[in-house]
Amino acid sequence: MPLPSMKEQFAALIATPSVSCTQASLDQSNRPVIDLLASWLGDLGFAIDIQPVSPGKFNLLASFGTGPGGLVLAGHSDTVPYDAALWKTDPLKLTEVDGRWVGLGSCDMKGFFALAIEAVLPLLDQPFKQPLLILATCDEESSMSGARALAAAGRPLGRAAVIGEPTGLKPIRLHKGVMMERIDILGRSGHSSDPSLGHSALEAMHDAIGELRGLRLAWQREYRNPQFSVPQPTLNFGCIHGGDNPNRICGQCSLEFDLRPLPGMDPQVLRAAIRQKLEPVAERHKVKIDYAPLFAEVPPFEQAEDAELVRVAERLTGHRAEAVAFGTEAPYLQRLGCETLVLGPGDIACAHQPGEYLEMSRLTPTVRLLRELIEHYCLTPA
């Protein structure tokens, strides 16, 4: 059976639901997408390794050629949830609209795999000096469990890794980390007419927020990277809940906040500083304070500007490597010894939006760029 065309592969990937979501009612298995990719790549002579991560969730590592080094073309096989009523087209059907391919995952980022396969097709009859690996992960849009599992396994991947997230075909060598945290304060409720009858969790939280604001100011004075559009680390107080009535001393209060550290800022060091500031607040107000991450953090990412991959990508794209605010799987691949860049054809402005699209004008340049990367890393001696 002949291999489907690039457009047919792109359409098949869009038509195969693979939503990743923290809400179990919306979450889906990514196995059908993995099976599609495994079938196509297996027919081309790739060695196929499907790796279970959790029930219904899988990574795919497909390799052509053997030996150390080589190039990894990486992406995630899942999408965010969607509301079909807000789309003007069927989100699970590839639709051409005004020079764009519209569909869920077209930009972010299942479509990247079809472009990667198209890029390698005319090269398969040449001797590969180093292997090409195509990596598809699970759950990037929620827990990043696929990338975390790879990093935990510790198996070296390749000499260089390119993650096809939406960057407008500009190489990205830095991004901020993502930390989502929660503080729960348990006080003691009582009648509001006599403050001695209780310990106010709300007043303790007021002081806790003051300490966090002080840390934010100190971190923003200490850390700055002008390559980011927001050059300092940020700390956003996202939501707060506490108490139940004006005439009761507040017995419980919780806060959720988002912290975006710059490269060079260790999340564990940041958490230790927060805990150190919260301890005296708990003692002063005679309350219990629990502080923990909502999710495991995505570390900040930085690839050295003089790395071979950075220089090669800058030469091939004509763009200097930049920084972005959104997080990716890059730090996990970097832990496995890969020089790593984020570089893909989509635009982040339309990701996670109804009507997500990929400009058709980006198709040929992306295929050409990926082919040149494969030639550099796989067809020439290391």
Catalytic residues: 78, 140
| Token output for 287 | 């309350």
Count of alpha carbons within 13 Å of 68, Cβ hemisphere only? 4
Nearest to 342 by CA among 139, 120, 175: 175
| Token output for 4 | 């489907």
In sequence order, which residues have a C-beta less than 8 Å from that of residue 5 and are 6 or more positions away? none
CB 346 within 8 A of CB 166: yes
Residue 336: count of CB within 10 angstroms of its CB: 18
* Alpha-carbon span 301 to 323, nearest angstrom: 9
Helix (H, G, I), strand (E, B) or coil at 8: helix
* Alpha-carbon span 237 to 255, nearest angstrom: 7
| Token output for 371 | 């082919």
Nearest to 322 by CA among 106, 220, 162, 169: 169
SS (H, E, C) 173-189: EEECCEEEEEEEEECEC
DSSP character string of 209-225: HHHHHHHHHHHHHH---
